Amino acid sequence: MRGSAEPVSLLELGCARGASRIALDVAREVRAHEPVVLVDGLSRPLLSRRRPKPGDPEVAARADETGPGLRVGVGSVAPGTAWTDLPYLGTRAVLVVRAGHAGTAWLHTVARQLADQHVAVIGVVLIDPDPRDRTDGTLWDGPRTARRDRGTPPPVRQTGQDRPRAERLPTPAGRVPDSEQEAR
């Protein structure tokens, strides 16, 4: 994040307080090196209503209220989210997801919506993970699998014309009865 003028957002799914705490910690760390502004885009503003401590970064309720410096937004990708507002929080996002809060279908919806809004997911933070979970945690494999661009043609697939195919031997077709009487 340091040295980048591109805004970053933390988008929560089931853990608004956790995402707010992470955003505040990140902003405090970045503030030591460059100016930073937090944008509280949550439906229940947690950051803009808290009392700032000495040395805390500036907090704005909307992205257009920010001054100079790196913008770190906090928003939500829960059902009912206004997807078109998310790019204003940041064009790069870290998802902060509470384990077990959303199913696979919703996570894929989030991936597609963010890809449609040209918001790149640069990381995922899992809150309260299940220690028994042995999966690798892959939600999706980059924007290529999530994007639904209708303006660009799909990638051309290799048909394998250059590769020799195994020859198939003809097989006799099964006998089909001609009438009901023949079927008995």
- Say how far apart CA 94 and CA 126 lie, in whole Å: 11
Encoded tokens for 105: 């279908």
- Say how far apart CA 149 and CA 19 lie, in whole Å: 30
Q: Give the SS3 label for residue 89.
A: helix
pLDDT along the chain (184 residues), means of 10: 73 91 89 86 78 78 70 89 85 89 86 91 85 62 52 50 56 64 56
User: Angle at Cα 157 formed by Cα 155 and Cα 162, nearest 5°?
Assistant: 145
Q: In the chain, how long is the greatest CA-to-CA distance?
A: 94
Q: In this structure, what DSSP letter does residue 131 have?
A: T
- What sign for the dihedral angle of Cα 23, 28, 30, 34? positive
Dihedral of the alpha carbons of 5, 66, 52, 11, in degrees to the nearest 10:
-60
Whole-number pLDDT of residue 59:
80
Q: In this structure, what DSSP letter does residue 132 have?
A: T
Whole-number pLDDT of residue 138:
57
Encoded tokens for 150: 């209708």
Whole-number pLDDT of residue 108:
87
Whole-number pLDDT of residue 57:
81
Whole-number pLDDT of residue 157:
44
